[in-house]
């Protein structure tokens, strides 16, 4: 039809001309043959160029989609990373605030304890001063009574010389003063021992109270850390689930585009194949007509041969089309087998990459799970070690304190301890 248009003829006129000159070796037939060959080459070239353009366009679409999905995943991971950093910063700030609050509380307790200790000492000293004043007053009264009694006895005795009476009076005074001095020294010694023992007992109560405060503070700190770790692990699990969901959605989108492009490619190849088959059918028909005119004796045999060749060609093309749908290696002519093999290898590489990504994703989940288990075990180990060290240090301090009290002669001060609320049971769940 294109040749008829090039020659300025209608289709029917062109066919009549071809029927008339088809069996002649004329310049017209040679030109027409060359035009047909040129048209076929142009059609094949244009068909191949269109196929290559379509493949390049499909590749660009896949690359654009992959870049878009990669940017989306990078943005998602950056968002999750910022959330993790914010959580870590908040946890650090909370621990710092807790440490400051504990420090302020300890300082306040130290000031209160120091003030209470001074008040306690002042109370003991004040009471002992009152007791000592009362004791000295009693001694003075007793001394005065004894002195008057001795004088009365001497006044009643008229036989003893005056000088001897004075000596006896002086001796009685001296003995009485010495006795009172010893009694005063004994009272002062008792008061000093009472003061030292009670102050020591008070200090022991202060140490135990400080130990209880330390236990409460470390319990609060460890509970805070445990809560923060649990929140962190829950957030990481939530992040992992959201990342997996996004990966699955992206993979589904990418796979859908690939299937659509492959379906379009197959449709195009099918149309090209049908067009090629039709063109070959027309060429065979034309060749058959020419051979019939040039060889009238072998008309029937040639017709059967051409028909058989046409049928065989159609069968081959049909088998190629069926194989085209099921095996991508046979979707194109032999000249394009290398490109198809490369595409199949690329597809195989992509599938292997997808399987590799799924395998790598399972290891990360185990490590994350293993990492979570390891972090919890590390926290429990730290908790046990810190509690153990705290109790050992406190026990050493109490033992050292009691040994020092025994060395100073205060005896066993355990009886002065306040009622215990099981403050050493730190290994119970908090």
**In degrees, to the nearest 5, what angle opens at C-alpha 244 toward C-alphas 242 and 247?**
110
* Span between the terminal Cα atoms of the chain, in Å: 94
What per-residue confidence (pLDDT) applies to 351?
A: 52
What pLDDT shows up at residue 365?
Answer: 57
Distances 335 to 42, 179, 340 between C-alpha atoms, Å = 17, 136, 10
Helices (H) and strands (E) in the chain, counts: 6, 0
* Alpha carbon separation from 190 to 201, 412, 413 (Å, rounded): 16, 18, 18
Residue 372 token pair: 């979570």
- Residue 413 neighbours by CB under 8 Å, 6+ apart: 197, 200, 201, 204, 402, 405
Q: What is the residue-wise DSSP string for 6-53?
A: HHT--HHHHHHHHHHHTTS--HHHHHHHHHHHHHHHHHHHHHHHHHHH
Please give the pLDDT value at position 417.
55
Q: What is the DSSP letter of 159?
A: S
Identify the CA nearest to 200 among candidates 417, 364, 352. Answer: 417
- Its pTM stands at 0.47
In this prediction, residue 352 carries a pLDDT of: 45
Nearest to 105 by CA among 213, 222, 224, 209: 213
| Separation between Cα atoms, residue 223 and residue 217, nearest integer Å | 10
Residue 428 is predicted with a pLDDT of 47
Q: Where are the domains of the chain?
A: 2-416
Distances in Å between the alpha carbon of 360 and those of 254, 319, 356?
19, 41, 6
Query: From CA 314, how far away is CA 280, in angstroms rounded?
Result: 10
Q: How many CB atoms lie within 10 A of CB 3?
A: 16
Site of tokens 């009643």: 156
395: left (phi over 0), alpha (psi -120 to 50) or beta: alpha
Alpha-helical (H) ranges within 295-336 are 299-326
DSSP 333: -
pLDDT, one tens digit for every residue, the chain (430 residues): 444 454 454 455 555 445 544 444 455 556 666 666 666 677 777 878 888 888 899 899 999 999 999 999 999 999 999 999 999 999 999 999 999 999 999 999 999 999 999 999 999 999 989 988 898 888 888 878 887 777 777 766 666 676 776 777 778 778 878 888 888 889 899 989 999 999 999 999 999 999 999 999 999 999 999 999 999 999 999 999 999 999 999 999 988 888 888 888 888 878 888 887 888 888 888 877 776 666 555 545 544 554 455 455 545 544 544 454 456 555 666 676 676 666 665 665 665 455 445 545 554 554 555 556 666 767 777 777 777 777 877 777 777 767 766 766 655 555 555 555 444 444 444 4
């Amino acid at each position: 039809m294109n040749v008829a248009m090039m020659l300025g003829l209608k289709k029917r006129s062109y066919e009549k001309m071809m029927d008339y000159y088809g069996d002649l070796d004329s310049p017209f037939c040679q030109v027409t043959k060359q035009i047909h060959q040129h048209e076929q080459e142009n059609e094949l070239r244009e068909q191949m160029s269109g196929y290559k353009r379509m493949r390049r366009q499909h590749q660009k679409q896949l690359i654009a989609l992959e870049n878009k999905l990669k940017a989306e995943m990078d943005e998602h991971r950056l968002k999750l990373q910022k959330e993790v950093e914010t959580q870590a910063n908040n946890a650090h700030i909370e621990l710092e605030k807790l440490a400051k609050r504990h420090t302020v509380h300890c300082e306040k307790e130290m000031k209160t304890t120091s003030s209470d200790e001074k008040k306690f000492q002042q109370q003991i000293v004040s009471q002992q001063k009152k007791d000592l004043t009362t004791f000295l007053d009693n001694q003075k009264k007793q001394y005065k009574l004894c002195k008057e009694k001795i004088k009365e006895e001497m006044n009643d005795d008229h036989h003893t010389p005056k000088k001897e009476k004075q000596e006896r009076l002086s001796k009685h005074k001296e003995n009485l003063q010495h006795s009172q001095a010893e009694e005063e020294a004994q009272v002062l010694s008792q008061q000093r021992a009472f003061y030292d023992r009670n102050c020591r007992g008070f200090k022991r109560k202060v140490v135990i109270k400080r130990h209880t405060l330390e236990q409460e503070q470390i319990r609060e700190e460890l509970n805070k850390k445990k809560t923060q770790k649990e929140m962190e692990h829950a957030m990481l699990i939530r992040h992992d689930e959201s990342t997996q969901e996004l990966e699955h959605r992206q993979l589904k989108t990418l796979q859908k585009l690939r299937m659509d492009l492959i379906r379009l490619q197959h449709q195009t190849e099918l149309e090209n194949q049908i067009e090629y088959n039709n063109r070959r059918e027309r060429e065979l028909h034309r060749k058959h007509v020419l051979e019939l005119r040039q060889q009238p004796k072998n008309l029937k045999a040639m017709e059967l041969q051409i028909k058989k060749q046409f049928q065989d060609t159609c069968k081959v093309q049909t088998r190629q089309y069926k194989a085209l749908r099921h095996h991508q290696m046979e979707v194109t002519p032999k000249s394009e087998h290398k490109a198809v093999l490369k595409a199949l290898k690329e597809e195989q590489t992509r599938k292997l990459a997808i399987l590799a990504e799924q395998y790598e994703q399972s290891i990360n989940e185990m490590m994350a799970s293993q990492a979570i288990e390891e972090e919890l075990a590390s926290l429990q180990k730290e908790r046990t070690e810190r509690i153990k060290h705290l109790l050992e240090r406190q026990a050493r301090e109490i033992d050292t304190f009691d040994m020092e009290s025994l060395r100073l002669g205060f005896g066993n001060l355990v009886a002065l301890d306040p009622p215990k609320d099981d403050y050493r049971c730190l290994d119970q769940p908090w």
